[in-house]
Chains A and B, each alone.
Chain A
Amino acid sequence: MSETGAREFESLDGMPSAAAEGLHCLLWALADTKLLLGFHYGEWTFGTPELEAAVASCSLSQSELGHVRLLHAILKKHWNGDPDAIIESRPAAAFANTAYLDQPVDGWPAFVAMNAVVDLAATRVLASLRGSAFKPLRMSVDKMLDEERHHAHHGRGWFRTLGRRGGADAEQLATATGRALGAVAVWLGPPDDPADRALTEAGIRRESSFAVFTALSEDLRQLAAEAGVAMPTAVPVAFAGWNPRTRRNVGARGPADDILFHLRGEANAMFRLGE
């Protein structure tokens, strides 16, 4: 029995098909979000307000990419997903990352919102998988959560720092935070998502995405109050033709071409080993 009291699964054998499909989509979304987080953190190794933040950003990038590797290994073993193809050959619109990461992160307040909201949302989704009935995930989840503590410290620390400064810094942070929270709400999905319900019923998740969003909103409300940042009282969220595979509404484009070009290393493709 798992910590959630449900039957354990060593593989997908015997797992209800709705739960298996929901888990596939969720892991894919986590991997894509972490891939894009890793890219943006990596880019912000330079340009941070202080040297310590540059080192921290570089380190956050490394750990996100390490998590992508762990998640891709699970996707490869249980769904036969080729990690190279996942990154190299999917069209932009197939990426299931949080839409906040689709465009360049255009300033330090936007970076802090990414760290404090988007990264924390992914971490809260991971936390909802602790003690999962899907055994291959358990050890990886605990390792990832252990490393994510430092991401959370960095995000909260900078959120408070910009909030205490007030003025334009705090205003830009509030705007970026509202934008990030809106994107995360869509990424987490509608409250009545059947795949999400199948995952909680099978004991693969202990909390639904809606519960994750509620907890995340409360985290941010407390942090904003402490930091003196004026948060939007309600984030308008619309689900129009929401696709559980991409966790986006119909018509969404995915990451910008320029970001995918750099992320895939297309300029250096000819140097790949074995090609």
Chain B
Amino acid sequence: MTVAELSGAGTASRALAERFAGRAFLACAIVATATAIAVVGVLGFETVLFFTEVSPARFFSEVAWTPFSEDPRFGVLPLLAATAQITVGAAVFAVLPGVMTAVYLQHYADARSARVVGTATSLLAGVPTVVYGYVALNFVTPALSNLWPEIEAFNGLSACLVVGLMILPTVVVLSRDALESVPASLMEAGLALGATRDRVVVRVLIPAASRGIVGSVVLAMARAAGETMIVTLAAGNQARLTWNPLEGLRTLTAFIAQSSLGDAPSGTLNYRAFFAVGAVLFVVTYVMYAVGRRLLSRRSRDGAR
């Protein structure tokens, strides 16, 4: 026998297909990586140019965001604060119901109710955010004005409530995954020791899944921070520092969505402001998302599945 017989020669067309396939997959990976680099690069590039005109110190310390006035100010704090308020506010409304629903689905529900609620949850997750925005502006705000007549037409409370509803499915689905990764034998062990189901759930199963549940909340909050259409439609576009949930405010995302509309001329300071704000948003959500993913993945790796 010779090497030639084992060289796979005489199958030139197959070797060609093999090379072509390898190259094609590599090309896809290059395109995807290039896209990732382009996203980061474009944001970074324009942001750096922005910072040559507006110092980062001013950007992060001034409390006025008035890019279109005669004496433009670029203090990102009001936008950042608004994003933080909406994010935390949405979490306040979403976390408890979300986690409780997950607990119900995982530990209490019979198969049929689990299917019904599960389907509703995934359908809710599929509703585009602009639809939520429509509901926030046309239904939630009017309803809230019955309770608080002084509420503004654009206000933070309505946005928080509806963003909370939007992130609810994320909390439910991911928390349920976390609960699922806790060995089922723990429940049996607890019940066998004479504990009630409630007690096992609260004392054993939820704590065992706590890391993943926290991860699901962080991921949901990352989504809330990046949410655009609900806050644009319901919270308004006044960049101001306020703690009154009945007043309007403007988040990082709302600024980008509302002020751009595609016609800011390239290369102007205003144009670059979008990228600077976009970069802040990118960093905030990227970090939150990475942290959330980490919390979730550790959980599922440790869990005995």
A binds B: no
Binding site for A on B (CB under 8 A): none
